[in-house]
Amino acid sequence: MGFIFGFYKSPYNHEILAILKNIVIQVFPIFGIEFSRWFIVNRNKKNKSMILIVVILFILVEINYSVLFNLFSNKENLFKYVCGTIFPLIAQSILYTYLSLKGNYFLPLIYKTLNKLVILLLPILPNLNWFITGSIGILSSVIIYILFQYKFFKERKDKKRDRKQFVEIISYSATIVLSVTLVSFMLGIFKYQPITILSNSMVPCFERGDIVIYKKLKTDELNKISKNSIIIYHIGNQNIAHRVINIIEDNQAVLYQTKGDNNNLADRNLVKIDQIEGVFIFHIKYIGFPTVWLYEYLNNEDNNIQKN
């Protein structure tokens, strides 16, 4: 993963005494946690309510509350933390409880210890964003569960049940990953974001009811927009996707003159850099019509282009 996404230097000190200290602080508690989990679940194997309480309890034990509470003021960062940290914790807690029920505390203990030692001992670590980290955390738990289930049910004669459970697990895991991806995309957390077109001002390039995907620009990219690019920019609460027909430099500031391809006249107002959201990449025809109809039904006249 590091060769794909890059590496960053480990934040941990790798002197011998520092490594031993980190192991004592971060690895030894794993023994107590997993032995306690195993002891409780095996005393209450037939009590489903208690098993659920154990799962929730050990999720709560491993949450970093200082980080969580600091993120409540920023919805985007809170969403990233929940998807990248809390969801994997939930998946892992369910997996560890299941392994404790079917085996013993050594299974989750070994898995968690190896994960922690890798982080503590490696001088460099893969520079993964919240989405990749969350996806790996969830999928690794699902894959281990599937493999263990396959081994467990292989010993049974009921192969149909085997197949059905396998398909269900794959379906559930795929649904979770796709749902998180879709929600993240619609919220604009990725580099690319969709908007729905409500007018025909850019016909024939794209038209009413199309979905436009645009690339959000970094600060250093805003000055590199070229003539004939289609930009998405805002005026107040109104978002517009029009083509740049002229670039004007005024007192060291760059202004963009825009026009809809289907309009006779250029737009009245010049566009400043801080108004620009991104540049057009491609469009998907027709699938934005539900948003258009909802917009028209609510009769919200503040936007010409409504964000999806």
Q: In whole angstroms, what is the distance from residue 42 CA to residue 50 CA?
A: 11
Return the structure tokens found at 52.
Answer: 């659920």
- Write out pLDDT tens, residues 265-276: 999 999 999 899
pLDDT at 165: 65
Is the separation of the CB atoms in 276 and 217 below 8 Å? Answer: yes
pLDDT for the residue numbered 39: 87
* pLDDT value of position 4: 64
Residues forming beta bridges with residue 7, ordered by sequence position: 126
Rounded CA separation 268/271 (Å): 10
pLDDT at position 302: 43
Residue 161: predicted pLDDT:
59
pLDDT tens track for 211-258 = 898 988 887 788 789 999 999 999 887 889 999 999 998 777 889 999
Residue ranges of the chain whose pLDDT lies below 50 = 157, 301-308
CB 113 within 8 A of CB 27: yes
Taken in order of first residue, the domains within the chain and their CATH numbers are 2-186 (no CATH), 192-307 (2.10.109.10)
CA distance 232 to 192: 12
The predicted pLDDT at position 241 comes to 95
> Which SS3 state, helix, strand or coil, does residue 277 take?
strand
Determine the length of the chain: 308
C-alpha distances in angstroms, 188 versus 183, 250, 290? 9, 32, 19
Q: What is the DSSP string of 122-191?
A: -SEEE---HHHHHHHHHHHHHHHHHHHHHHHHHTSS-HHHHHHHHHHHHHHHHHHHHHHHHHHHHTT-SS
Q: How would you list the strands of the sheet with 192-197, edge to edge?
A: 271-272, 253-259, 238-250, 230-235, 276-284, 211-216, 192-197, 305-307
How high is the pLDDT of residue 249?
Answer: 84
Exposure pattern of 183-218 as b/e (b: 16+ CB <10 Å)?
A: ebeeebbeeebbbbbbbebbeebbbbbbbbebeebe
